[in-house]
A and B are shown apart, each in its own frame.
Chain A
Amino acid sequence: MSTAIGANTFLAALRDHQNGDGGWGWHKETRSRVEPTCWAISALGAERNSSDDSIALTKARRYLIAEQENRGFWTATPEMKSGSWVTSLACAVLANTEDADSAVVAGMAWLCNDYPLDSNPALRFIHRILSKDVSSKHNDSFRGWGWTPRTSSWVEPTAFALLALQESRAERLPSAASQRRELAVGLLYDRMCPGGGWNCGNPRVYGVAGEALILPTAWALIALQAFPEHEKKSLSLAWLEAEMPQIESPGSLAVASMCLEAYGRRLPATRLNLRDCSPEGLLEDGIHVLAWVSLALNPNRAWPVGGVR
């Protein structure tokens, strides 16, 4: 099956901007980073017909494996020494690569052992006794993932960790994986905004309902797709469908489109048409946006959610 013309154009632009080390930076001629490399791999990996892509993907996966730290995590930027949420992305995109077995096993082990500090039982107890903080009312017994280790749980890193857990074969997962999955799903539902959808993870501050945002909502719904029906999923899908027509940025529109398609929803008419975007324009927003739009226009995609064929 051939992909849409738009997707091919965007994929060509992605190929053009691969760095010599096999990775991609956020923008043209910038240093390779794990996150944009993961998104580029996802987009190029969805189209397996081209031999050019095979070479590019092989180089890119080698870059990712080389960037993994000894303790199993990936860092957000080569200059940093601490683990990062990008470990989830790296594990997810390497999950189906045969020669990346040990990398994925080590990455998932690190991920499943990385607990946010805010949900630490001792800290929660102290907080409950001493704190007069009335700013938010989370249920901190749920544990997701943070952007950086030993901070707090947030919606998007939790969603990406769930996707990595789903993508990895069971034999590659540590024993804590199933419990982490259960706690993370609970956290996502706990952090949903009262009217449906998610923002970064503050559903209510000083009694005022938080406003949901497109990207956290779409990623959370994509991560929850494999789980049983839930009224909060339905409410959030309805919120996303209602917001779709007003979306004015290609990145949000691409991810929201993939999300609604994954749930079998018809895409509503939108102000913006992804096929009207130029690769140069998308590159100004970043390689990740170019990759998201490529994925959204590609019916062959398999990850982060399957396309509509």
Chain B
Amino acid sequence: MNIRNRKLIPSFERPPSRVLIRKASNYQQELADLIHESLRQFNLPVQGKTVLLKPNLVGLDPLGVMNTHPAVIAATRASFFRLGALRVLVGDGPAMDRDTHAILESVRLREFTGKLGRDFCDLNLDDVEKVVLETRASKLKELFLPKTVLGVDFLVSMPKLKTHHWAGVTLSLKNMFGIVPGSCYGWPKNVLHWAGIDRSILDINAAARPDFAIVDGILGMEGNGPIQGTPKAAGLLLFGDDPVAVDATACRVMGLLPEKIPYLARAGTMLGHLNPTKIQQLGESIASVRTAFAVLPEFRQLVG
């Protein structure tokens, strides 16, 4: 079943979600085995399927502090192939800079993944299809979304662990802003800001729901993220079959209260589990990896 045919399941009908926390101290270590072994624990239905990895490629990043690190992208791609995926695409639609090529060069993606050719999709320039927004969380009635996203069998949101100066945090749900095509909505995708960032996040994730989330928290960003914040090493990767649960867990690791983040609080009622009693914690405990992330004064109420 591809993305466009998914139905929303109310929280009370959803089975518990699973989130795995793994320590990973740096990008130089052997990530492929770590990620493959982590993904195997979820028994993902990707055999013979087309998978789309949606990293967070937000801007020129020669120091590797704002984008999902290419080492994580490459290791995840290799892992999905090892799990039997037929095709593993990588795609994003950067929001602030339309020169996607420049962003890819700045992070040296090709050095990690090899030449991707048509397995990289600039989602800003993809053919689009109208999607009626049934959730109507924002005032948007419809969005035109990339056919590549809507047509894949398995969608993986791969954000970086970061605070965000307008949304509080940017994790696997906020990362999905990148599927909204710039060629339709511009750079930045300002129509989403006017519709309300928090509410747009809900609509987008309801329209194209990620099946899985992998958060690059080896090196995150605190303060004035997602671009101008301060690098913050957390030394971990998070995996989960429910993006809401993954984001809630990531917040708790960052010392933030997910219930106080408006879009996550609402996502917990319609898209996944926020309540820790509904999240099966695997791997490291939150307490053992907790790393307090600084936030802007406007978000001090988020600090737990």
Which residues of A pack against B, CB within 8 Å?
25-27, 30-31, 33, 35, 76-77, 79-80, 84-85, 117, 134-135, 146-148, 150-152, 154, 156-157, 199-200, 205-206, 208, 210, 213-215, 247-252, 284-286, 289
Chain B 109-141 near chain A by CB (<8 Å), digits 1 or 0? 000000001100010011111100000000000
B190 interface residue (CB < 8 Å to A): yes
The answer, among A33, A206, A210, A247, for a CB contact under 8 Å with B296, is A206
Measured between alpha carbons, how far is A200 from B59 in the docked complex, in Å?
A: 12
- Contact between A205 and B101 (Cβ–Cβ < 8 Å)? no
Chain B hits for A25, CB < 8 A: 127
A252 and B127 contacting across the interface, CB-CB below 8 Å: no
Q: What are the interface flags for B253-279 relative to A under an 8 Å C-beta threshold, 1 for contact and 0 otherwise?
A: 000000000000000000000000000
B97 contact from A31, A85, A206, A215, Cβ within 8 A: A215
A147 contact from B96, B187, B224, Cβ within 8 A: B187
Chain B interface size, under 10 / 10 to 19 / 20 to 34 / 35 or more: 35 or more
In angstroms, Cα B127 to Cα A31, docked, is 7
| B284: interface (CB < 8 Å) | no
The interface residues of chain A lying within 8 Å CB-to-CB of B97 are 199-200, 213, 215
Known: A26-B125, A31-B127, A148-B185. A79 touches B144 (CB 8 A): yes
Which of A80, A148, A200, A247 is in CB contact (< 8 Å) with B96?
A200
CB neighbors of A among B172-193 (8 A): 183-188, 190-191, 193
Contact across chains for A206 and B102 when beta carbons are under 8 A apart: no
Binding site for A on B (CB under 8 A): 60, 96-102, 105-106, 117-118, 122, 125-130, 144, 165-166, 183-188, 190-191, 193-194, 224, 228, 296, 298
Q: CB distance B102 to A85 under 8 Å?
A: no
Residues of B within 8 A of A208 (CB): 224, 228
- With both chains docked as a complex, state the minimum distance between the C-beta of A283 and any C-beta of chain B, in angstroms: 11
The 6 closest A-B pairs by CB, nearest first: A147-B186, A249-B102, A249-B101, A26-B125, A248-B105, A151-B190
Residue of A nearest to B229 (CB): A208
User: Is the beta-carbon distance between B99 and A252 smaller than 8 angstroms?
Assistant: yes
Asked, given contacts A214-B99, A215-B97, whether A156 binds B127 with beta carbons under 8 Å apart, the answer is: no
A77/B99 in contact, CB under 8 A: no
Q: What is the number of contacts between chain A and chain B, taking CB atoms within 8 Å?
A: 103
Residue of A nearest to B98 (CB): A215
Q: Is the CB of A205 within 8 A of B224?
A: yes
Chain B interface, >50% SS class: mixed
Q: Which B residues lie within 8 Å of A35 (CB)?
A: 183
Q: How far apart sit A85 and B187, CA to CA, in the bound complex (Å)?
A: 11
Q: A148-B191, A200-B96 are in contact. Are A80 and B144 (CB under 8 A)?
A: yes
13 A-B residue contacts at CB 8 Å? A26-B126, A27-B125, A79-B129, A135-B166, A151-B186, A151-B193, A152-B194, A199-B97, A200-B97, A210-B228, A213-B60, A251-B102, A286-B122
Q: How far is the CA of A95 from the CA of B102 in the complex (A)?
A: 32
B185 and A79 within 8 A (CB) = no
| A247 cross-chain contacts in B, Cβ below 8 A | 102
Which residues of the other chain, B, contact A31 by a CB distance below 8 angstroms?
Answer: 127
Q: Which residues of A contact B126 (CB under 8 A)?
A: 26
Whether B125 lies near A146 (C-beta < 8 A) is no
CB–CB B190/A146 < 8 A: yes
B194 and A151 within 8 A (CB) = yes
In the assembled complex, the Cα of A285 lies from the Cα of B100 at a distance in Å of 8
Query: Which one of B97, B117, B187, B296 has the highest number of Cβ atoms from chain A below 10 Å of its Cβ?
Result: B187
Check A286 against B191 for contact (C-beta < 8 Å).
Answer: no
Q: Which residue of B lies closest to A206 (CB)?
A: B224
B96, B102, B106 — which one has the most chain A CB atoms within 10 A of its CB? B102
CB–CB B165/A206 < 8 A: yes
- CB-CB < 8 A to B98: which residues of A? 156, 215
Identity of the chain A residue whose Cβ is nearest the Cβ of B102 in the assembled complex: A249
Does B228 contact A156, Cβ atoms closer than 8 Å?
no
Expressed in whole angstroms, the Cα–Cα distance for A77 and B105 within the complex equals: 28
In Å, the complex CA distance between A249 and B191 comes to 28
Complexed CA–CA distance, A151 and B200 (Å): 15
Is A205 a contact of B125 with CB atoms below 8 Å? Answer: no
Q: How far is the CA of A117 from the CA of B190 in the complex (A)?
A: 12
Contact, CB under 8 Å: B190 / A252 = no
A125 to chain B, nearest CB (A): 18
- Asked whether, in the complex, the Cβ of A154 is within 8 Å of the Cβ of B186, the reply is yes
List residues of chain B with CB within 8 A of the CB of A154.
186-188, 190
- A217 → B minimal CB distance (Å): 11
Q: Which residues of B contact A79 (CB under 8 A)?
A: 128-130, 144
Which residues of chain A are within 8 angstroms of B101 by Cβ–Cβ distance?
Answer: 249-251, 285, 289
Return the chain B residue nearest A287 by Cβ.
B125
